[in-house]
Structure 1
């Protein structure tokens, strides 16, 4: 069922309102860097945190995040809602998420096109979907429920995948198009996920990029990957967020900016965390490309 509140506005307005982050480079905020950010007040466009790390009433995480939120725009990124799961969304999780959004009034909220729970079992991973009619209806119903519950629009992140389902009847880009068209959510374009999936499934990254609903992009993610080989000896990329952004991902990011112009861009690093200055240097690299996109005729 389509969200009756969202129907009062055009889909273009809905997607535009899903993210109010500035068109600058941001960083994922890690607890190791709380004091550095507060003491140095670096010139960073925004910070992003994983919502599930803050689903408690109080404590030091909230103390520091509250202080940082006073100085910087904030994006909340969910990792555990299981939007693609076969079961219903967890009402307790929805309520905790709504309370968190009410508390911090983030400039954007995003979640993943994935599933991570089955019945009472929660799997600590973002698992892929079969792209068919029943899955499409289920994902749209879950997004509709989420947006109604939160009273705001969300951004949906394209996945990094390592397998494909034979039962799929839609290409991944067509599936994403349909979800955005039917639900009115926006798109979080993870360029690293795009590159990882295309290499793993032997697709053309540029063709995949051009097939996405780029008009709906509200935020961009950049990250690093690990590299291995599959059982056939083919190249296998793992979206581990444990390395600098790869040169191929930077090149693809430039292609994105040529298509859509400057857009809020996050540097993600969740593993092998370096010094804050190293992450800030990567953010500065993205910032330079954003500025270049602004002045390009």
Structure 2
């Protein structure tokens, strides 16, 4: 078992292997050359592991050059941690090879499932929160961490429905997974807001129930808004818009509980110019500075 680090320490006390307590950006292929040409003042870049699970090609060429200049976070979307079946061992071995190649400061995955037998579903699907699921998720995380020889961060999900057979509250489920497996928490503030609005929960109470002392990275993103069959507000975690003011406010309140933590600006759809993303990163940096100055 891996022992989780106390990631709520001030930046000056952070371990050398951790991400800088600054804002980072998701690295997009359309920004490769601009990043290398301008070397923007940014804390780190994050990439999706599955986009780099090949031996060569232009993606690796550019990522190798950018990795020489910046800290790196590797974010997985295909391990299917919550699946009922066993983990895909060849996929896990490809992930291990990628981590050995780039030595990222952070690796994270989702509390979700996306595969059933040989079928892979291009989505992150919710879990039933009960004891069998808890045991399965912990066993899968143990397998991942033992294979990679390093702790991982587990991201809280954005959900749109809940299982009637769930017997454990979601934050309590996450806390127990973290306790038993020794993994850390990737706190996605947008996911907290989206899920709490969709399920009519209090976002601050949800936050307070999480193991915030194990947070190793924070994600911020935009959402789309719709309505459900009853006309109730329905938020979709689509990463296709600017960060909402309500999410910025919840982020500020989260930092009051965690202290400064490396924070990613996520934008995967309708990706704007690099300067637009850098402006959001600067906004996060300002809040991180404020959080670090608090007694």
Fold match, TM over 0.5?
yes
Aligned counterpart, 2:53: 55
Contact 2:154 2:185 in 1 (8 A): yes
Extract unaligned runs of 5+ from structure 2. Answer: 9-13
Distance 1:11 1:38, change over 3 A: closer
* SS at structure 1 position matched to 2:93: helix
Quick one: which of 107, 124, 133 aligns to 1:126?
124
Partner of 2:69: 71
1:296 Cα deviation from its structure 2 partner:
2.0
Q: 2:90 aligns with which of 89, 92, 110?
A: 92
TM-score by length of 2: 0.96
Q: Does residue 80 in structure 1 map to residue 85 in structure 2?
A: no
**Mapped contact 1:18–1:185 kept (Cα < 8 A):** no
Provide the C-alpha distance between the structure 2 equivalents of 1:161 and 1:171, rounded to a whole number of angstroms.
13
Question: Counterparts in 2 of 1:94-113, with a 5 A limit?
Answer: 94-113=92-111
Q: How many residues align?
A: 290
What is the aligned partner in structure 1 of residue 11 from structure 2?
Answer: none
Gaps of 5+ in 1: none
Match of 1:260 among 254, 258, 280: 258
1-structure distance, mates of 2:193, 2:6: 29
Counterpart mapping for 1:133-144 below 5 A: 133-144=131-142
1:88-144 deviation line (CA, Å, top 9, x unaligned): 000110110000000000000000000000000000000000000000000000000
TM-score by length of 1: 0.95
Q: Is the 8 A contact 2:7 2:213 kept in 1?
A: no
Partners in 2 of 1:256 and 1:93 — Cα distance?
A: 34
Equivalents in 2 of 1:257, 1:175: separation in Å? 22
Counterpart check, 1:152 vs 2:150: yes
Looking at structure 2, the residues matched to 240 and 112 of structure 1 have their Cα atoms a distance apart, in angstroms, of 15
Q: Which residue of 2 is the match for residue 245 of structure 1?
A: 243
Q: Structure 1 residue runs of 4+, over 3 Å off?
A: 10-19
1:210 paired with 2:208, answer yes
Alpha-carbon distance in structure 1 between the residues aligned to 2:178 and 2:63: 31
User: What per-residue deviation string (whole Å, max 9, x for no partner) do you get for residues 267-286 of structure 1?
Assistant: 00000010000000000000
Is the CA contact (8 Å cut-off) linking 2:4 and 2:214 kept in structure 1?
Answer: no
Matched-pair contact (CA < 8 Å) for 1:79–1:112 = yes
Whether 1:188 aligns to 2:186 is yes
Change (3 A) 1:18 1:270: farther
Q: Which residue of 1 aligns with 2:170?
A: 172
| RMSD, aligned CA | 1.5
Separation in 2, partners of 1:11, 1:190? 18
Contact 1:18/1:186, CA 8 A, preserved across alignment: no
CA contact (8 A) 1:51 1:97 kept: yes
Do 2:18 and 2:105's aligned partners in 1 also have CA atoms closer than 8 Å? Answer: yes
Aligned partners of 1:18, 1:124: CA distance in 2, in Å?
35
